[in-house]
Structure 1
Amino acid sequence: MHKILTFRDEKLLRRALTHRSYVHENPSEGEHNERLEFLGDALLNFLSGEYLYRCHPEMGEDELTRRRSALVDEKQLAKFAEEVGLDFRIRLGKGAIRDGGYQNPNLLSSTFEAVLGAYYLDRDSDIDAVRTIIEPLFDSVDPKHIVMARSNVDSKNRFQEWVQRNLTPTPPKYVTVQTGGLSHAPEFLAKVLVGEKNYGEGKGRNKKDAEKAAAEDALAKLKIQGLL
């Protein structure tokens, strides 16, 4: 068993593995894993940034940002989830299982984030314990994945670069709300704002996809206007 699944508090691991679709069908279960997912996402962004900063002293901010996007994108985190054995341990509702939830990259990546956040709490908020777990996974990433990601720069990064180059040093703000969908397949709507101005909107199966779609919409509008 991978060390990331070795917990002092098994209840914490259980919550990290519990998707909202399972709680929807089993209300007495209590809390699902989305708060832990939020924490894990923050940890991953910090630790991946620190890792790249240390490993690539020759790189500037833009290149580091692009590599970080590749290192912690949905596809890569889903691979991490499979590597540590999360794929068939996720606690899903029957509908999500029927829809292939155990192989769903979004569910896998989200659960990996939740487990990482839970592991951090289980280790008394010790960032070094999490670093010890995650850096070998970062080391294992296929360089081809990084190269492919660099050739297709994340739309959110591209839009932020345009904003900071042409408008303001302040990054764009994303406002995301759930608009519908099923418990195991929600739909989100995101708007990307610069100041008070709405530059784009997009929908997705999760907040990340919705924000990416909003950034793509903003870039498309800029291109039509001849500003990109």
Structure 2
Amino acid sequence: MGEFKFEKWMFKDESLKIEAITHKSFASENPADGPHNERLEWIGDTIITTVVSDYLFFRFPYHKEGALTKLRSKIVCKETLAKFARKLGLENDLRLGIGALKSGDRSNERLLEDTFEAYIGAVYLDSGRDLNEVNKFLEPIIKLFVDELAENEHNNNNGSPPRDSGPVYGPINKIIEPSDPNGMLQNWAQSRGFEIPDYKWATPERKDENNKPIFDCEVIIDGKVFGSGSSGKKKEARKKAAICALESFGIFNYNSSPI
């Protein structure tokens, strides 16, 4: 992930922090040093899912629950939460038993995921069970991850890039496309008093290496090109053009104006 610095939570109750970073292997060998982190892990798992769901729900107000669930699963998973744990430096803070240390468990992704969940559970309790405070703590790194995921998806996209007259891509969600981008674009344009989007096709048609047609589509609103898309199928090219336009408008900020 980028250069974002994930600051640790300033615990009022240090015992919660210690519990969050204590693996059961350490607690078994040192029973006088307090409990292990599995109870905190249990509640932290629920808190993370809630915070991520809240963030995605309000960042992507035009997407259906299936698309949001797909994106949430990319965040609330072993690989991503282990990455967050490393960003916090929990890999070095972990209290492990001798056997776990010898096995190299400090870098074990499953263990790091569990530790991050426990840490967030501890943050929740230390904040006085204030979800708003947990939101403030977690949202910056969630936003960074979603932005980078969107950027990577765009860079890996095999579709044709926008033409010079088209819009510039922003860090909008290529990962979860709207279910009906053409309808969404039309509703948006009409609600803002603009003309109904018009789709124009480039002529002559291009051909791919197998001599099959490639359809190039541009979407025009009030005489200006705001999106373009290419595909071997007209319907898909039209859809890509609409998505391109939605991205150029920053459609997830409904107060923005394209013209």
TM-score bin (small chain): 0.5 to 0.7
Report whether the alignment pairs 1:109 with 2:140.
Answer: no
Contact 2:43 2:121 in 1 (8 A): yes
Match of 2:123 in 1: 119
Q: Mark the CA change 1:95 to 1:121 in structure 2 (over 3 Å): closer, same or farther.
A: same
Select which of 30, 54, 69 maps to 1:65. 69
Match of 1:40 in 2: 44
Match of 1:143 in 2: 149
Distance (whole Å) between structure 1 residues aligned to residue 92 and residue 30 of structure 2: 19
Contact 2:6 2:141 in 1 (8 A): no
Select which of 87, 96, 99 maps to 1:95. 99
Q: Mark the CA change 1:55 to 1:144 in structure 2 (over 3 Å): closer, same or farther.
A: closer
- Percent of pairs with identical residues: 39
Gaps of 5+ in 1: 152-228
Gaps of 5+ in 2: 157-173, 176-259
RMSD: 2.2
TM-score (ref. length: structure 1): 0.61
Secondary structure in 2 aligned to 1:140?
A: helix
Number of residue pairs aligned between Structure 1 and Structure 2: 150
Match of 1:84 in 2: 88
One-letter identity of the residue aligned with 1:73: C
Distance (whole Å) between structure 2 residues aligned to residue 14 and residue 43 of structure 1: 19
Distance (whole Å) between structure 2 residues aligned to residue 74 and residue 144 of structure 1: 19
Distance (whole Å) between structure 1 residues aligned to residue 88 and residue 14 of structure 2: 17
Distance (whole Å) between structure 2 residues aligned to residue 71 and residue 17 of structure 1: 21
Judging by fraction of residues, say which structure has more helix: 1
Q: Which runs of 4+ in 1 moved over 6 A?
A: none
Q: Mark the CA change 1:70 to 1:10 in structure 2 (over 3 Å): closer, same or farther.
A: same
> Computing the radius of gyration over CA atoms, which structure comes out larger, 1 or 2?
2
Query: Shift in Å at residue 4 of structure 1?
Result: 3.2
Contact 2:22 2:37 in 1 (8 A): yes
Contact 1:90 1:102 in 2 (8 A): yes
Match of 1:28 in 2: 32
Secondary structure in 2 aligned to 1:102?
A: helix
TM-score (ref. length: structure 2): 0.54
Query: Shift in Å at residue 2 of structure 1?
Result: 5.1
Select which of 9, 12, 16 maps to 2:16. 12
Distance (whole Å) between structure 1 residues aligned to residue 62 and residue 40 of structure 2: 34
Q: Mark the CA change 1:146 to 1:69 in structure 2 (over 3 Å): closer, same or farther.
A: farther
Query: Shift in Å at residue 26 of structure 1?
Result: 1.1
Distance (whole Å) between structure 1 residues aligned to residue 109 and residue 68 of structure 2: 24
Distance (whole Å) between structure 2 residues aligned to residue 145 and residue 105 of structure 1: 24
Distance (whole Å) between structure 1 residues aligned to residue 65 and residue 45 of structure 2: 20
Q: Mark the CA change 1:122 to 1:57 in structure 2 (over 3 Å): closer, same or farther.
A: same
